[in-house]
């Protein structure tokens, strides 16, 4: 079987440090950046241990960083080292999290994961820190999509060959135009059919996918939401009981990602918020922790809702006039033909959250889940390209960037569906100032524009 090919414009290649005798030299991979407060960045990474050695290979995880690639004067602050049971190939994955604090705004920083013992150092990587809170001196550009992934099974080849690799190529080509990413849940699809076709296991598929994504996640803050594919190790209901306890309740997701919940009073990587220049971004869970949630509760059905209300109430709209919410499931829109998972709207999500977003004048609601792009009409006006002072959030579904299940076909077109596109693509939201934003939906195949519209707020 021929593997899909994608070209790494920015590779993450380790360099050798030291000459220790080791059964296997280990390398940091799956390097991920995330917001860590208004002046900080979290750096997370993964190391797979040597055969039959389950001990932590990097007991003092450190990232050195500075504004010069040749003189690293600053050292990270340790946050966490963790592992969960793998039982695959007699190896264990370790995950690390540190923070780079007190960064200067809008500044290029270089950083390197420091190796020791049998662990290589990473190559020298770079990112640009967030602008000063409230800074409106330039537009902010955000890449948005959900449902990107690869499972290594037959679906990668039969439902849409190489959609994952095609998407990575397209995103790399646009990387210089992107400030940070919003991924609206369903990351990597390692859980689709883990026991039916033994080409890739759950962990192997997750590792392959996230290592490939490092070309993006090591260079920009990559902010994620929980999707149904992050909950358990399989989406196949009849064999769900085969998932071991350490692959349930989004445990792998909680180890692999490091969202700023501790900086915003949120919970795990499940609900949180952060600021970027003059934008406030909120991530909530459409999977758990509200009445009749599709995947039950991690805590209860009120804590997340109360947190959301309190977070929205604290926003200073004179500093961050734009408020964006991402979650995984759609609340309104068309209905797809059923596939491996449900392909409709989430009325219980809408009942729990929508009125809160309206009451606090949230500007945009992003979601994935359904594998296409759909824009909900403004005041039932079809074919509009200008949303002028909408009375509620602009609703955008973007779950069609590329994954092993392929994109969906239409069952029932919603009356309020303004634009729907079935070809794989992703969006870039350009927020120009306090009053004007443009959303552009690009094809992953050739970067042609498939939809574009403006949001105009008189404020």
Q: Looking at residue 20, what is its pLDDT?
A: 53
Per residue in 39-62, pLDDT tens? 999 999 999 887 677 789 999 999
* pLDDT over 90 percentage in the chain: 65
203: β partners: none
Locate 413 and state its tokens.
């077109």
Q: Looking at residue 231, what is its pLDDT?
A: 78
Task: Name the band, by pLDDT with cuts 50, 70 and 90, for residue 380.
Answer: low
pTM for the complete prediction?
A: 0.91
How is the chain split among helix, strand and coil, in percent rounded to 5?
Answer: 15, 30, 50
Asked if residue 195 has pLDDT above 50, the reply is no
Any alpha helices (H) in 125-279, and if so which ranges? 155-158, 163-173, 202-212, 214-217, 251-256, 261-264
Exposure string of 9-30, with b = 16+ CB inside 10 Å and e = fewer, is eeebebeeeeeeeeeebbbbbb
Q: Looking at residue 396, what is its pLDDT?
A: 98
Pick from 326, 222, 227: which is nearest to 282 by CA?
A: 326
Asked if residue 447 has pLDDT above 90, the reply is yes
Helix-helix angle 163-173:202-212, to 10 degrees: 20
Residues sharing a CB contact under 8 Å with residue 75, sequence separation 6 or more, in sequence order: 62, 63, 64, 65
Asked if residue 334 has pLDDT above 60, the reply is yes
Lowest-pLDDT range of 56-65, 119-128, 251-260: 251-260
φ, ψ for residue 356, nearest 5 deg: -65, -45
Residues sharing a CB contact under 8 Å with residue 34, sequence separation 6 or more, in sequence order: 41, 42, 44, 221, 222, 223, 257, 258, 259, 260
Q: Looking at residue 179, what is its pLDDT?
A: 99
Lowest-pLDDT range of 12-16, 214-218, 259-263, 363-367: 12-16
Task: Name the band, by pLDDT with cuts 50, 70 and 90, for residue 130.
Answer: very high
Lowest-pLDDT range of 59-63, 147-151, 173-177, 314-318: 147-151
Instruction: Compute the average pLDDT of residues 315-326.
Output: 99
Locate 197 and state its tokens.
């076709």
Instruction: Compute the average pLDDT of residues 115-141.
Output: 97
Q: Which residue has the higher pLDDT, 338 or 101?
A: 101
Instruction: Compute the average pLDDT of residues 183-201.
Output: 65
Phi-psi region of 267 (alpha: psi -120 to 50; beta: other; left: phi over 0): beta
- 28 DSSP 8-state letter: -
Residues sharing a CB contact under 8 Å with residue 431, sequence separation 6 or more, in sequence order: 139, 140, 141, 142, 278, 279, 322, 437
Q: CATH 3.60.21.10 occupies which residues in the chain? A: 140-456
Lowest-pLDDT range of 99-103, 161-165, 169-173: 161-165
- What is the end-to-end Cα distance of the chain in Å, rounded? 56
Q: Looking at residue 152, what is its pLDDT?
A: 56
Locate 67 and state its tokens.
């504004």
Give the C-alpha separation, 408 to 419, whole Å: 15
Q: 177 by DSSP, 3-state: which?
A: helix
φ, ψ for residue 149, nearest 5 deg: 175, 175
Q: Looking at residue 1, what is its pLDDT?
A: 42
Per residue in 225-248, pLDDT tens? 998 878 766 555 554 555 655 566
How many other CB atoms are there within 10 angstroms of residue 449's CB atom? 10
Q: Which residue has the higher pLDDT, 63 or 251?
A: 63
Per residue in 382-403, pLDDT tens? 778 999 999 899 999 999 998 7
Q: Which residue has the higher pLDDT, 11 or 318?
A: 318
Q: Looking at residue 199, what is its pLDDT?
A: 45
Q: Looking at residue 306, what is its pLDDT?
A: 99
Asked if residue 9 has pLDDT above 50, the reply is no
The architecture CATH gives domain 140-456:
4-Layer Sandwich (3.60)
Sole residue written with tokens 């606090």: 360
Q: Which residue has the higher pLDDT, 10 or 449?
A: 449
Per residue in 198-223, pLDDT tens? 444 677 778 888 999 999 999 999 99
CATH fold of 29-128: Immunoglobulin-like (2.60.40)
Q: What average pLDDT is seen over the chain?
A: 87
* pLDDT over 70 percentage in the chain: 82
Give the C-alpha separation, 166 to 181, whole Å: 17
């Amino acid at each position: 079987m021929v593997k899909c090919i994608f070209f790494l414009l920015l590779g993450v290649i380790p360099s050798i440090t030291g000459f220790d005798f080791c059964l296997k030299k280990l390398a940091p991979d799956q390097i991920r950046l995330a917001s860590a407060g208004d002046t900080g960045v979290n750096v997370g990474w993964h190391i797979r241990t040597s055969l039959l050695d389950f001990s932590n290979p990097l007991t003092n995880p450190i990232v050195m960083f500075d504004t010069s690639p040749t003189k690293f004067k600053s050292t990270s602050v340790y946050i966490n080292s963790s592992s969960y049971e793998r039982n695959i190939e007699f190896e264990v994955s370790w995950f690390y999290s540190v923070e780079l604090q007190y960064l200067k705004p809008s500044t290029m920083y270089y950083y390197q994961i420091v190796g020791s013992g049998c662990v290589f150092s990473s190559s020298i990587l770079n990112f640009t820190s967030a602008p000063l809170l409230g800074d409106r001196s330039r537009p902010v550009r955000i890449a948005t999509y959900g449902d990107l992934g690869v499972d290594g099974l037959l679906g990668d080849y039969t439902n849409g060959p190489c959609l994952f690799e095609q998407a990575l190529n397209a995103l790399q080509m646009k990387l210089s135009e992107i400030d940070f990413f919003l991924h609206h849940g369903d990351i990597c699809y390692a859980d689709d059919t883990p026991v039916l076709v033994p080409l890739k296991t759950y962990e192997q598929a997750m590792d392959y996918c996230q290592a490939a994504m490092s070309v993006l996640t090591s260079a920009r803050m990559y902010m994620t939401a929980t999707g149904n594919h992050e909950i358990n190790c399989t989406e196949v209901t009849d064999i769900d009981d085969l998932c071991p306890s350490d692959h349930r309740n989004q445990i792998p997701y909680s180890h692999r990602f490091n969202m700023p919940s501790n900086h915003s009073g949120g919970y795990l990587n499940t609900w949180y918020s952060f600021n970027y220049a003059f934008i406030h971004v909120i991530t909530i869970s459409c999977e758990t922790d509200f009445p009749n949630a599709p995947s039950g509760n991690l805590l209860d059905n009120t804590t997340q809702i109360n947190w959301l209300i309190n977070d929205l109430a604290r926003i200073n709209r004179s500093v961050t006039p734009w408020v964006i919410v991402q979650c995984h499931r759609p609340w309104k829109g068309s209905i797809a033909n059923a596939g491996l998972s449900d392909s409709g709207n989430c009325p219980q999500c809408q009942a729990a959250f929508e009125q809160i977003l309206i009451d606090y004048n949230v500007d945009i609601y992003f979601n994935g889940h359904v594998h296409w792009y759909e824009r909900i009409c403004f005041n039932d006006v079809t074919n509009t390209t200008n949303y002028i002072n909408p009375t509620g959030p602009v609703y955008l579904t973007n779950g069609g960037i590329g994954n092993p299940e392929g994109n969906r076909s239409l069952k029932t077109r919603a009356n309020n569906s303004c634009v729907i596109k079935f070809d794989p693509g992703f969006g870039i939201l350009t927020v120009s100032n306090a009053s004007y934003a443009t959303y552009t939906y690009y094809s992953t195949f050739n970067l042609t524009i498939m939809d574009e519209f403006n949001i105009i707020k008189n404020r």
